[in-house]
Structure 1
Amino acid sequence: MTSSPRDYVRNTVKEKLARDEVVLSMIVRLTRGIEIASIAQTAGFDSLYVDMEHNSFSLDATGQICMAAQALGVTPMVRVQSLSAEVIARTLDAGALGIIAPHVPSAHEAAAVVQAAKFAPIGERSLPGPMPQLRFRSFPAAETMAAMNDATAVVMMMESREALEDVEAIAAVEGVDLLLVGTNDLCRSLGIAGQYDHPLVKEAYARTIAACRRHGKHAGIGGLGSRPDLMQAIVAMGARYVSLGNDLTFLLSGGTAAVKALRATAPG
């Protein structure tokens, strides 16, 4: 008989990052069914995150995907649609093992996200009772809160000039695990939209990685799925979490390549 909540919650992302290994993640933007969790595992992804910021996913569908992914050993995270404490808490209660907070402008907002995502003594999250991450088993409150605090990843997206200017303070916030650079929005904020080869992009990653190292945190790559050369270079710089792309892009690229290959050889 399992006697501890820690026996149920394993966060592959946090474990691999602690060993300085590269974590590969897929964004879920299209697929509403739990099949995407099995696809992610078969493809070899360590993690997936449901993107509730940029689509119309329901919380119910998000929770179902998260529970299916956790059961398969694929760490489920969610990019929430806002930084409100209510949204963060409900998303975690639904089954996520990590929160990706978009458009975090400063350490003040980063600290508020931690407060919403973590139980006491780190944060102020309300204890919901039996939880999907624990297969709805009941454990002593103190054990549950400690286990879930350790297992829940808190990720801040660096997507603006303001965030980059405050990167040192954001990385220093207790309870933050990872700073994920959102390259597309960061480029837009810096006035270099779409210019991934611009020196400012490399500089932004260098500053983020350096801040993470100084404060014992980890750095991640986002928005560069079309540029594997840049992702490899940034991993070499020290980034360890890599968002490789989303299910929609993978489907379109595979389908487009198949059509082009046959069109090139078909008569007429």
Structure 2
Amino acid sequence: MKLFENKKFVVGPFMKVSDPALVEVAAFAGFDFVIIDLEHGPNTIQTVQNHVRAAQAKHIVSVIRVPEINENIISQALDIGADYVQVPQIETAEDAKRAVKAAKFFPEGARGACRYVRAADYASMPKENYFGNANKNSGVIIHIEGNIAFNNIDEILKVEGVDVIFIGPYDMSQSCGVPGQINHPKVISTIKEIVEKAVPLGKVVGTFVESPESAKQWIELGVKYISYGVDVGIYYDACKSIVDKVNA
């Protein structure tokens, strides 16, 4: 599945809980995608393949955030059927090229080639179909997180094969000297500068938000990939709201 078919922007949460039922709930709620998190939280490749199954069953795009620029993990995430990989800690154009190379088969990259995987229907798919279509059927999202990446952003934006440039506001807040303050003027200004450079070049930009107001603000500035909250945080907010209203 592709993210932006007939959509001006897309919205989806990070998923840290290991139960794939929450992926189904996200789909029923109307989210466009889920980011299944292997960087922060208890999940493994083995557990998240059920998240991918749930996403496909409910027709929602699956993104796996891998823990690092690691060719084997990127390949595994795509082998189990993820629609996109989201690669953190991108600091240079070379980092971005490594991520693309790991996620794409020849000629766009050098991803490990195996058709005995879930993405190839466990070898039941004709090999010509699998290897011929895999590159266009999967995507790469790179995660810009700090000042080093910010200083190299012009070169990063030139890298071919990147579908979305995702700006992580929490890590960016650390680089700006205001850890955790994702709405601090320094953080907002830094993200805006990246957006203003990327959008005129036709690049798709994403970021993380924690309120509808923030989401609308970035959408108005041209951000199209909106990561809204985290499953555990969304659940906490709902529970806290109920408790506060009952006890009021």
Q: TM-score scaled by structure 2?
A: 0.93
* Greater mean deviation of Cα atoms: 185-194 or 238-247: 185-194
What percent of counterpart residues are identical?
25
Query: Is residue 197 of structure 1 aligned with residue 177 of structure 2?
Result: no
1:48 aligns to what SS in structure 2?
A: strand
Residue 247 of structure 2 is aligned to residue 263 of structure 1: yes
Q: Which region of structure 1 is more displaced relative to structure 2, 122-131 or 154-163?
A: 122-131
In structure 2, the residue matched to 1:4 is none
d(CA) in 1 for partners of 2:235, 2:183? 26
Which residue in 1 is equivalent to 2:12?
25
* Matching residue of 2:225: 241
Would the aligned equivalents of 2:147 and 2:176 in 1 still touch at CA under 8 Å? yes
2:5 corresponds in structure 1 to 15
Separation in 2, partners of 1:206, 1:261: 37
1:107 aligns with 2:93: yes
CA contact under 8 A between 2:4 and 2:10: conserved in structure 1?
no
Aligned to 2:155: 169
- Superposed, which structure 2 residues align to 1:1-12 within 5 Å? 10-11=1-2
Unaligned 5+ residue runs, structure 2?
Answer: none
After superposition, give the CA deviation of every residue in 1:155-181 in whole Å (9 maximum; x if it has no partner).
Answer: 111110011111121121111111111
CA drift at 1:211: 3.1
Aligned residues: 247
Distance 2:183 2:172 in 1: 13
Q: Is the alpha carbon distance of 1:64 and 1:229 closer, same or farther for their aligned partners in structure 2, counting shifts above 3 Å?
A: same
Rg larger for: 1
Q: Pairwise mapping of residues 77-226 of structure 1 onto structure 2 (< 5 A)?
A: 77-136=63-122, 137-141=124-128, 143-222=129-208, 224-225=209-210
What is the RMSD computed on CA atoms of the aligned residues?
Answer: 1.7
Deviations 1:14-59 (A, max 9, x none): 435xx5x1101111112x2221221011110110011110112121
Which digits, 9 at most, give the CA deviation of each residue in 1:182-237, with x for residues without a partner?
Answer: 00110101112233333322322222223322443200011x21x43232211111
After alignment, is 73-82 or 187-196 more displaced? 187-196
Amino acid of the residue matched to residue 262 of structure 1? V
Aligned-partner residue type, residue 156 of structure 2: I
Runs of 4 or more, structure 1, over 4 Å off, are none
Distance (Å, rounded) in 2 between the aligned partners of 1:155 and 1:261: 40
Is the counterpart of residue 40 in structure 1 residue 26 in structure 2? yes
SS in structure 1 of the partner of residue 85 of structure 2: strand
Normalising to structure 1: TM-score of the pair?
0.86
Kept in 1, the 8 Å contact 2:91–2:149? The answer is yes
